[in-house]
């Protein structure tokens, strides 16, 4: 029971970090102020400082989320996958932790992207893969949470039926179906995501 409480705390902490990351995930676009009048120069400089501060804050949050996310989800995977008895609930939490682990494992690419002034040095394939992993995490996390809610509902409303039909094998099949659905819905991001010339420098590439 104590291990399950720790698992809940870790999952909620990681979810909070992901929300903070979404709030600061919008990339800034640099504006060339050459040849603009003095009044407008001041306006753009003020916003450039604000954007720079937001970029630094985003990078710090990403680094924090990477460290806590990889370690936290790694602990959840270890506990639910190897230390706890296999139950329907551990199957749900294991799959949720794996999805978040994959997402946080790719955060160093985002940190590098921000640190290089939104220049993407990793090539077209990694751009597609990173964004695909991001949306696979989003879809699978949401749908696994929906499955958990439905499972709790059936256990409360139809306890006898749930006791007869709920088992680890069926939960594993449902989790596999969620992953397949998440991959299917994320396929367009792998197909259409691409790199392109930066707004400020045509020789520099940015992820689009």
- Give residue-wise pLDDT tens across range 139-149: 999 999 999 99
pLDDT band of residue 205 (cuts 50, 70, 90) is: low
CATH of the domain at 77: 1.20.1070.10
Please report the pLDDT score of residue 87 as a whole number. Answer: 92
Enter the pTM of the model.
Answer: 0.75
Please report the pLDDT score of residue 24 as a whole number. Answer: 47
What Å distances lie between residue 192 and 54, 59, 97, 162, 189, CA to CA? 28, 26, 28, 42, 5
Enclosing domain of residue 174: 2-207
* Nearest of 172, 4, 1, 169 to residue 79 by alpha carbon: 4
Number of domains observed in the structure of the chain: 1
Please report the pLDDT score of residue 98 as a whole number. Answer: 95
Environment class of 165 (CB within 10 Å of its CB; exposed 0-12, middle 13-18, buried 19+): exposed
Identify the residue with better confidence: 185 or 9: 185
pLDDT digits (tens, 9 = 90+) for 32-71: 444 444 444 444 556 777 888 888 898 999 999 999 999 9
What Å distances lie between residue 73 and 24, 77, 190, CA to CA? 22, 6, 25
Please report the pLDDT score of residue 6 as a whole number. Answer: 53
Question: Region 78-96: what's the mean pLDDT?
Answer: 92
* Nearest of 104, 177, 185, 175 to residue 139 by alpha carbon: 185
């Amino acid at each position: 029971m104590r291990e399950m409480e720790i698992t809940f705390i870790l999952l909620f902490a990681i979810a909070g970090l992901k929300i903070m990351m979404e709030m600061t995930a919008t990339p800034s676009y640099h504006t060339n102020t050459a040849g603009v009048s003095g009044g407008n120069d001041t306006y753009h400089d003020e916003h450039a400082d604000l954007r720079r501060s937001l970029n630094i804050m985003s990078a710090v949050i990403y680094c924090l989320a990477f460290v806590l996310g990889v370690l936290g989800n790694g602990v959840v995977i270890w506990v639910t996958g190897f230390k706890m008895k296999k139950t329907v609930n551990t199957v749900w939490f294991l799959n949720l932790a794996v999805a978040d682990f994959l997402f946080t494992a790719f955060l160093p690419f985002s940190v590098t992207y921000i640190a290089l002034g939104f220049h993407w040095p990793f090539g077209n394939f990694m751009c597609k893969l990173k964004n695909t992993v991001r949306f696979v995490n989003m879809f699978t996390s949401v749908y696994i949470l929906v499955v958990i809610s439905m499972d709790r509902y059936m256990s409360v409303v139809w306890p006898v039926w749930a006791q007869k039909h709920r088992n680890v094998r069926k939960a594993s099949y449902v989790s596999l179906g969620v992953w397949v659905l998440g991959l299917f819905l994320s396929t367009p991001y792998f197909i259409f995501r691409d790199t392109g010339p930066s707004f400020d420098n045509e020789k520099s590439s940015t992820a689009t």
